[in-house]
Amino acid sequence: MTIIVTGGAGFIGSNFIFYMLKAHPDYRIVCLDKLTYAGNLSTLSGVMEQKNFRFVKLDICDREGVFGLFREEKPDIVVNFAAESHVDRSIDDPGVFLQTNVIGTSVLLDACRAFGTGRFHQVSTDEVYGDLPLDRPDLFFTEQTPIHASSPYSASKASADLLVMAYHRTYGLPATISRCSNTYGPYHFPEKLIPLMIANCLNDRPLPVYGQGLNVRDWLYVEDHCRAIDLIIHKGRAGEVYNVGGHNEMRNIDIVKLICRELGKPESLITYVTDRKGHDMRYAIDPTKIHDELGWLPVTKFADGIKKTIRWYLDNRDWWQDIISGEYTKYYEKMYGNRGKA
């Protein structure tokens, strides 16, 4: 069995590669990644030498390159993690989001068609459903919830989902989609809420909370996300969408305060800054379908997952210090430098 994993040098993709190499030691895993600012080859150093692993630096929008790789590898399964993934960057500059998330996905779909790939899995997001109001805790996203994207990022992910479904219906492409909630854990790029707050705490820098910090996200430990995808690609039904989430809703401000407590840092580091444009209020997944059909349940409780994650950032300072001292300093200055107070 050969699996092409796109975006495998990023956060969830790399965790998925580690998970799959352990869970299926007889599989061949081929990682295809462009190595954008978010891709980090050092993340994969521990598996680079494994015989059943191959890394290929490639852009999913590069049709010729992608077709060449499919011709060589004849993958049984393709799992597409490759994407521009940060909402704030999409608000600043949407173009590359359309290019990679939509056009790139279409190139992969065409390659799967051309080479008869047995399964294409699209790693999507709960953000395609838009948001839920804070005063209706009884509401959850199900697979029937209409697509209602808020940001250029989520609109690009929703567009890709529509294409995947169209290829399934029109060409009979055996495709599945997972829509997971906010994922956290090791190798999470420090532009995202949890790693950004951990890194800033450890450097005694201000903790920039958008608006009042009352927005709610539904957090899932990365290994649980990876296990869900493993189940879907093997047992999920083609043409189906599976929502993935662990019923773990938390307000941003409570996460930030928890990180301060865990690291013994004062809450006075918290700074309320100008809100994100179009900021989604609440995400909450109903995971009944994946539980009933595939027996998936999250294993790691948030209380344990966040401790493990903080421990990982303490033990792997080189990994993230390298990142935040490079190009990232320019990004940080642009996003947070002149940001007014909330």
Residues forming contacts to ligand TDX in the complex (CB under 6 A) are 85-87, 125, 127, 182, 192-193, 196, 208-210, 215, 217, 252, 276
Residue 35 binds which entry of ligand TDX, ligand NAD, none, with Cβ cut-offs from 5 to 8 Å by kind?
A: ligand NAD
- Dist. CA 113–CA 172, nearest whole Å: 9
Q: Is 208 helix (H, G, I), strand (E, B) or coil?
A: strand
Distance between CA atoms of 21 and 48, rounded to whole angstroms? 12
Give me the residue label for tokens 């996200």: 217
Q: In this structure, are residues 183 and 222 in contact, taking their beta carbons and an 8 Å threshold?
A: yes
Taking alpha carbons only, the member of 149, 48, 32, 170 closest to residue 100 is: 32
162 or 267: CB nearest ligand NAD: 162
336 part of the active site: no
- Other Cβ atoms within 10 Å of 7 Cβ, number: 28
**Is 93 a catalytic site residue?**
no
By C-beta, is 69 or 155 nearer to ligand TDX? 155
Please identify which residue in 2, 21, 27, 36 interacts with ligand NAD, judged by CB under 6 A.
36
Which is catalytic among the residues 33, 59, 84, 127?
A: 127
Tell whether residue 183 is a contact of ligand NAD (CB under 6 A).
Answer: yes
Q: Interface with ligand NAD includes 20 (CB under 6 A)?
A: no
HSE at residue 284, side-chain half, CA atoms within 13 A, is: 18
Q: How far is the CB of 26 from ligand NAD (least distance, A)?
A: 25
127 counts as catalytic: yes
52 binds, among ligand TDX, ligand NAD, none (CB under 5 to 8 A by kind): none
Of these, 4, 60, 228, 253, which contacts ligand NAD (CB under 6 A)?
60
Which amino acid is residue 108, in one-letter code?
A: L
Q: Minimum distance between the CB of residue 257 and ligand NAD, rounded to whole angstroms?
A: 20
Among residues 79, 90, 92, 63, the alpha carbon closest in space to that of 226 is found at: 79
CA-nearest of 308, 336, 267 to 184 is 308
CA pair distance 70, 117, nearest whole angstrom = 9
- Which is closer to ligand TDX, CB of 117 or CB of 309? 309
Task: Dig out the tokens for 216 from the structure.
Answer: 């709610």
- Quick one: what does residue 112 bind among ligand TDX, ligand NAD, none, with the CB cut-off 5 to 8 Å set by partner type? none
217 binds, among ligand TDX, ligand NAD, none (CB under 5 to 8 A by kind): ligand TDX
Distance, CA of 279 to CA of 151 (rounded, Å):
8
Q: Which stretch binds ligand NAD (CB under 6 A): 32-40, 112-120, 138-146, 279-287?
A: 32-40
The active-site residue, picked from 33, 59, 73, 126, is 126
Residue type at 157 in one-letter notation: K
CB of 237 to ligand TDX, least distance (A): 23
Q: Does 39 bind ligand NAD (CB under 6 A)?
A: yes
Residue (of 214, 88, 242, 212) closest to 154 by Cα position: 88
Residues that bind ligand NAD (CB under 6 A): 6-7, 9-13, 33-36, 38-39, 59-61, 81-85, 100, 104, 123, 125, 157, 180, 182-183, 189
